[in-house]
């Protein structure tokens, strides 16, 4: 499959990335090369095989739904670039 510039821009947008012109060129080339290699999965003898989503048998793991308080709010929020009154601060989203 041929990767186009439009596709790279579309994908970057989905991934919330802004690419510079030289990055677009580079990633187009890289993605093409990697996908050409990755295409061999399409020649693998997998007819009738189920998909595997995890390394071990998929089973539900239950525990009691109990509220546990994490009291050290300061240490959680210290990583926020901006905060106010113990809340993450972002720019206004509605006018």
Residues 6 or more apart from 3 whose CB is under 8 A from it?
28, 31, 32, 35
Residues 6 or more apart from 28 whose CB is under 8 A from it?
3, 4, 5, 8
* Least distance from another protein to the Cβ atom of residue 93, Å: 5
* Least distance from another protein to the Cβ atom of residue 67, Å: 16
Residue 67 engages another protein in binding (rule: CB under 8 A)? no
Q: How many residues bind another protein (CB under 8 A)?
A: 53
Residue 55 engages another protein in binding (rule: CB under 8 A)? yes
**Binding-site string for another protein from residue 5 to residue 44, where x marks contact by CB under 8 A and - marks none:** --xx-xxx-xxxxxx---x--xx--xx-xxx-xxxxxx-x
* Least distance from another protein to the Cβ atom of residue 48, Å: 9
Return the bridge partners of 84, or none: 87
Q: Which of 36, 28, 33 is nearest to 7 (CA)?
A: 28
Residue 90 engages another protein in binding (rule: CB under 8 A)? yes
Cβ proximity to another protein: between 35 and 86 the closer is 35
């Amino acid at each position: 499959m041929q990767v186009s510039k439009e596709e790279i821009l579309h994908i970057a947008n989905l991934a919330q990335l802004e690419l510079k012109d030289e990055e677009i060129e580079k990633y187009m080339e890289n993605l093409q090369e990697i996908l050409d290699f990755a295409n061999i999965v399409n020649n693998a003898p997998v007819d009738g095989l189920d998909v595997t989503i995890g390394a071990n048998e998929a089973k539900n793991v239950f525990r009691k739904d109990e509220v546990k308080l994490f009291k050290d709010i300061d240490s959680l929020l210290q990583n926020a670039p901006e905060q106010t009154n113990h809340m993450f601060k972002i720019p206004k989203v509605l006018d």
